[in-house]
Structure 1
Amino acid sequence: MNSRIRRRTFLTATGAVATATAVGDIAYATPAALDNASEYVDVQLLNITDLHGYLQPTTPSQGSVITGAGGVQVTVGGVGYLATHLKRLREGRPNSIFFSSGDNFSGWPFEVDAHANEPTVEALNALGLQFSTVGNHELDQSVEFLIDHMERGKPYPVSGRDDNFVDSTGHRFRGANFRFYTANIVHADSGRTILPPYNIEWVDAGLGRKLPIAFIHLTVVDTPTGSTSYQPGLRALSDLEQANKLAAQLKKRGVNAIVINIHDGGVAGNDYNAGTNPSGPVFQLAANASPDIAAIVTGHWHCRFNMMVPDPNGVPRPVVEAGNHGSLISEINLKLDPRTGAVIRELTTSTNHANTRDVPIDPELQYIADYWSAQGKKRYATPLARITGDFTRTPNASGESTMGNLAADFAYWDANQHPDGQADLALISVKPVSGSNALTGDLRYAKGTDPADSDGTVLFGEAWNAFGYGNPVLTVTLPGTQLHAAFEAQWVPQADGTEKFAPFAFSHNVSYRYDTSKPVGQRVDPAAVLIDGKPLDLNRDYRVAALAYTLIGGDGTKVFTGFTNPVRNDRDHEGFIAYLRANPVLTPAPLDRAQPV
């Protein structure tokens, strides 16, 4: 469909004129709203997105400072303050609906991530969250983990060790009091959505009457192939096609108030309560989605905007995104016809409220945040394994390091714990061409500063912070020729005529020799690559284990493009912890897996 909206003028209910002006390929308008419209049913929509488990007030590096009108900067963040703002916004509003646009958890605070994201669910339960779309990070573990554990509270896998921790009330984790939805993430084999595609909320219209509002939930389409959420058994449908199809179905059912809640967004300037120079997929969706949809609430991009965007008929509707890490609350106010339940579009208003810290902190929510911070310190200090020497990222001339070899050995072990993930070898990028590095710390023999530490002891938190960025270990099939190309791809020509050395660490059953006197692409003789003592065979396929981020090219490595038969194993953090539990005493391996000719 053509996403360009022609310039047009529309009338409000009182005849007031609002003119849309073109910006890029999309026209924008702000409707005039009536303050006195008591004959309609008022509905308040309150939204947050991309909390990512940031329960405590955030720091500047975590996004605590945002920009408002006139460039004024505001300090925001923290669920204790969020609860107070929510209570104030909800006060006197019986038809208030509070929901999320996804990525509630799978965040980066250690105390949350290392407790299976259960702290975030406890906080959202206490905040009164009613439902959420599935964000890509909701699938960082698996569909089963999301449904069975996060929603229903089922131990997954070992209660009290890996999950089902005791919460701030003294109870084991019991799951979310809210539900998840998505209309466009489906099982690859059956084509059925992994969760219901929409939900219908009923609001009080007075005199015992109820009116329905439907929320169509959509997830960013690259979720099944994203580096953290990689799920070979899933695929994504078009968000626009699903939105329009479901809007038509709901309309036929007599639901005349419809909202899109999508975990995909865009960018529209710096002012958190306005929007300029918009771009991104949600603005194309907004320009083409059915006019029966009254509002579009977004996430994923960690951006902040509040705009009125014309639908295909030129009638404005709000398109909002509430940033990330608890920085904002998006509020949309709808007025419904009490007879039909239809949204009176020209009376719709929207505002983004900063989660400022100039209000009294809510004691219940802050207690939850503080409890989990304390639990995080205890979990960090839990002894996990012992080492007989240092595992560091310091490379030798061949790019090998003891920490890199340990990570590759873990990936090989992890893949071979899964019947479908059996691997011939494993590799880890230890100096990426670009992007992030999975090797994030060293494991030193000498004790650290934590009182629980001692010489040779690896604490849980030390292991967690030394390796991984929330990526799954994948086992994929590569032809022998492509695997050989991966060995050659460790030397990367640069635009200025130099070359960059971007070595891989290989598992203990691999050794090879290289000759840097030869041209790039001719430095590793296949006969000099030994896998389980046998030379690399260019005429056979190999099953290779590596992190998804590397295999899909997230770190700049393009040599693995076109891999086949992917199988997802464990996520790096949890898998590495399991590896250390299974191998409680580790000795650094000799650095002899890669040697010059």
Structure 2
Amino acid sequence: MTLPFTRSLPLLTTSLMAALLAGCATTPGTRQPASPAASSGQAGPIEVGVIAINDFHGALEPPNQSVDAPDGHGNEVSVPAGGGAWLASAVDSLKARHANNVVVAAGDLTSASQLASSLYLDEPAVGVMNRVGVEFNAVGNHEFDRGWQELRRLQNGGCEKNTRLQPCQLEPFKGANYKYLAASTTLADGSPLFPATGVKTFGEGKDRITVGFVGLSLKSVPTLVAPDRVAGLKFADEADTINRAAGQLKAAGADAVVVLIHQGGRTAGTPDPNGCNEMTGDIQPILDRLNPGVDVVVSGHTHWAYVCDYGANPRTGPILLTSAGVYGKLVTDITLRFDPVTHKLLGRQASNLIVQSPAYKSAKGEVPNSDAFPRFQPREDVAAYIQRYKDASLHLVARPVGRLSGPLAKEEENGVGKGGALGNLIADSQLAATRKAGAQIAFLNPFGIRTSLIPAADGTVTFGQIYAVEPFNNEIVTMSLTGAQIRATLEQGLDDSGDKQILAPSQGMRVAFDMRRPSGARITGITLDGKPLDPAKSYRVSVVNFLAEGGDGFSGFAQGTERTRGAIDLEALEDWLSAVPLRKVPEDDRTPEAR
């Protein structure tokens, strides 16, 4: 049975399910009427639409990025996508499709954001999500970037100052209308940071359908965030947490359980946001350890888009696994179908809808709109809200900081993340900024590059552009490491324990690698100024504090001694660009890979 083409009409939630689910989050207005057909006694299934996003990262404006997808005629096209006002319209179109609906997210809605959001502590990103209608969000790793106390402010509202930036600069901040869920995260005394679960009910009496949600972060948050930001927090095993919470939801009467987890995977081959070719990644061992009771897993973190019928775990049977990529470029349309009498889940399906927004110019040329996919108009109220923050930050965004000789693309990951010329440029800037501390080498993690750097026709680059490239405001740390320690640390980025990336080196460095070799032995050569790195010699190495503290799995940097802290990474890049009339794009391949 297809539900009528109407918007949902939420009613007040009763206290029954809240009492059964102690410790769960409930959202005001979370009961919706069951479909008219089901209420009138027809035998067709009751449908519930779960509308899902992840990794929005405060992308208020279209990020000048695209989604690659097959157009249905044998061609692969790049479709411009994203932007908060366009996302709101896309979500509205799915709400209209599902009379019974709920909007959820799998983490990283804030931080690593566009300047107009970050300058205001991501209050506008929360404001956009409130207007989109998100009801539950799993806490991601980036949501801890400013500390868990600031994250609680985003939930609860108020103007308490937890960072160097002043909150409530443009207006009072009321907090998120949606509920943060963090089932695996506890404070030092064992109390929850946020609720573990939430529920939403549809209909009443015999027609009532209840969907339960488990939300959680990835266990490795402490390796992805500065240690002081998560001090006093504990992160439990993901699979154990899900099994416990899902069992409690089922026991309390949930007809289906949806997991929102900030962990994910990647597919291989030709990009397809609705494909699942050769799925790999850290989400797999979690899924393989789940007990029966989980029906859908909405994932994130990897910025990859997919829809998978995951069936490798024989205990659970198939689990629907989804991800909507990054920056609001996609939204996942999930349909759950229930038997109107027994309330048994009969089926589930999903597809990723491209949030097509205006055409733009990339490092490789124009990216036009495509008639093969729906085009969305920006929702007026959301656009006006975003414009207010854009206008307030315009004096910083538009300020010129230098000139570049050409465009620098963020290299797409093809098995191994590489910084390319853009990574080399940033590494050069950090080396220059720390020469006074004795720096001889600088490294940059490619996963820390958020977007391409495309100068104007005359080469001008603005502060807003470089902020979009590296929005973290990390300090640069210079330390002493031996050549042997440097090699071992570089190997960590290429081993089989997680996502693979080769650190982008500064000028004079060359790091060759071969992924066909065994894990732990993939670096084939390291030279500095044409000479092999001496394993026993000490070198002065600069990296951002995130890496210096072992972030992204590079624990070798934590062994560095004689540490000095220096400039902010963004300031170093601005200084490097402004130091000469025209900064030339690095042309040398500093990280050659054997084929």
Q: What's the TM-score, normalizing by structure 2? A: 0.63
* Aligned counterpart, 2:295: 294
Q: Residue type matched to 1:431 in 2?
A: A
In 2, the alpha carbon distance for the partners of 1:112 and 1:65 equals 27
**What SS does structure 1 have at the residue aligned with 2:296?**
strand
1:462-481 equivalent positions in 2, closer than 5 A: 465=467, 470=472
* Aligned counterpart, 1:248: 247
1:2-21 equivalent positions in 2, closer than 5 A: none
Aligned-pair CA distance for 1:329: 1.2
Please point out which of 412, 429, 434 is paired with 1:404.
434
Please point out which of 527, 533, 536 is paired with 1:521.
536
1:316-395 equivalent positions in 2, closer than 5 A: 316-338=318-340, 341-344=343-346, 347-357=347-357, 358-380=375-397
Larger Rg: 1
In 1, the alpha carbon distance for the partners of 2:288 and 2:554 equals 34
Is structure 2 residue 210 aligned with structure 1 residue 180? no
In 1, the alpha carbon distance for the partners of 2:143 and 2:186 equals 14
* Aligned counterpart, 1:231: 230
* Aligned counterpart, 2:88: 83
Aligned-pair CA distance for 1:488: 9.3
Range 264-273 or range 551-560, more displaced: 551-560
Q: What's the TM-score, normalizing by structure 1? A: 0.63
Aligned-pair CA distance for 1:328: 1.2
1:574-593 equivalent positions in 2, closer than 5 A: none
* Aligned counterpart, 1:413: none
8 Å contact from structure 1 (residues 553, 561) kept in 2:
no
1:32-181 equivalent positions in 2, closer than 5 A: 38-59=43-64, 62-67=65-70, 70-73=74-77, 74-91=79-96, 93-157=98-162, 162-166=166-170, 171-181=171-181
1:34-64 CA deviation, whole Å, 9 max, x = no partner? x9985433211000111111121221xx345
In 1, the alpha carbon distance for the partners of 2:59 and 2:532 equals 51
Distance 1:436 1:303, change over 3 A: closer
Please point out which of 440, 443, 452 is paired with 1:432.
443
Q: Residue type matched to 1:260 in 2?
A: V
Distance 1:149 1:405, change over 3 A: farther
* Aligned counterpart, 1:422: none
8 Å contact from structure 2 (residues 116, 390) kept in 1:
yes
Range 67-76 or range 288-297, more displaced: 67-76
Is structure 2 residue 201 aligned with structure 1 residue 202? yes
In 1, the alpha carbon distance for the partners of 2:182 and 2:566 equals 24
Distance 1:378 1:90, change over 3 A: same
Q: Residue type matched to 2:395 in 1?
A: K
* Aligned counterpart, 1:583: none
In 2, the alpha carbon distance for the partners of 1:400 and 1:348 equals 49
Q: Residue type matched to 1:521 in 2?
A: A
8 Å contact from structure 1 (residues 132, 179) kept in 2:
yes
Is structure 2 residue 287 aligned with structure 1 residue 282? no
Aligned-pair CA distance for 1:335: 2.2
8 Å contact from structure 1 (residues 80, 361) kept in 2:
yes
8 Å contact from structure 1 (residues 332, 349) kept in 2:
yes
**What SS does structure 2 have at the residue aligned with 1:165?**
coil
**What SS does structure 2 have at the residue aligned with 1:225?**
helix
Q: Residue type matched to 1:118 in 2?
A: E
* Aligned counterpart, 1:190: 189
Q: Residue type matched to 2:193 in 1?
A: I
Q: Residue type matched to 1:136 in 2?
A: N
In 2, the alpha carbon distance for the partners of 1:517 and 1:45 equals 55
8 Å contact from structure 2 (residues 482, 537) kept in 1:
no
Q: Residue type matched to 2:383 in 1?
A: Q
8 Å contact from structure 2 (residues 291, 316) kept in 1:
no
In 2, the alpha carbon distance for the partners of 1:172 and 1:570 equals 35
In 2, the alpha carbon distance for the partners of 1:153 and 1:335 equals 40
8 Å contact from structure 1 (residues 474, 547) kept in 2:
yes
In 1, the alpha carbon distance for the partners of 2:569 and 2:509 equals 29
In 2, the alpha carbon distance for the partners of 1:93 and 1:523 equals 63
In 2, the alpha carbon distance for the partners of 1:555 and 1:429 equals 23
Distance 1:125 1:498, change over 3 A: closer
* Unpaired runs of at least 5, structure 2: 1-36, 358-374, 401-423, 452-458, 488-507, 513-523, 573-595
Q: Residue type matched to 1:254 in 2?
A: G
* Aligned counterpart, 2:494: none
In 2, the alpha carbon distance for the partners of 1:558 and 1:89 equals 47
Distance 1:55 1:277, change over 3 A: same
Distance 1:348 1:433, change over 3 A: closer
Distance 1:429 1:177, change over 3 A: farther
**What SS does structure 2 have at the residue aligned with 1:367?**
helix
* Aligned counterpart, 2:273: 272
Aligned-pair CA distance for 1:331: 1.4
The alignment yields a C-alpha RMSD, in angstroms, of: 4.7
In 1, the alpha carbon distance for the partners of 2:277 and 2:198 equals 32
Distance 1:242 1:466, change over 3 A: closer
8 Å contact from structure 2 (residues 334, 350) kept in 1:
yes
Aligned-pair CA distance for 1:547: 0.7
Aligned-pair CA distance for 1:305: 1.1
Distance 1:429 1:492, change over 3 A: closer
* Unpaired runs of at least 5, structure 1: 1-34, 384-393, 409-426, 441-447, 451-458, 477-481, 503-515, 530-543, 578-597
8 Å contact from structure 1 (residues 306, 350) kept in 2:
yes
Instruction: Kindly tell me the number of residue pairs found equivalent between the two proteins.
Output: 446
In 1, the alpha carbon distance for the partners of 2:465 and 2:484 equals 28
8 Å contact from structure 1 (residues 99, 132) kept in 2:
yes
8 Å contact from structure 2 (residues 483, 538) kept in 1:
no
In 1, the alpha carbon distance for the partners of 2:239 and 2:338 equals 25
- The percentage of counterpart residues that share the same residue type is 21
* Aligned counterpart, 1:22: none
**What SS does structure 1 have at the residue aligned with 2:200?**
strand
Q: Residue type matched to 1:404 in 2?
A: T
In 1, the alpha carbon distance for the partners of 2:288 and 2:305 equals 19
* Aligned counterpart, 1:499: 527
8 Å contact from structure 1 (residues 430, 437) kept in 2:
no
Q: Residue type matched to 2:158 in 1?
A: G
1:278-335 CA deviation, whole Å, 9 max, x = no partner? 1123234334422211111111111111122235346433211111111111111112
8 Å contact from structure 1 (residues 306, 319) kept in 2:
yes
In 2, the alpha carbon distance for the partners of 1:94 and 1:518 equals 64
In 1, the alpha carbon distance for the partners of 2:328 and 2:569 equals 25
Aligned-pair CA distance for 1:95: 1.6
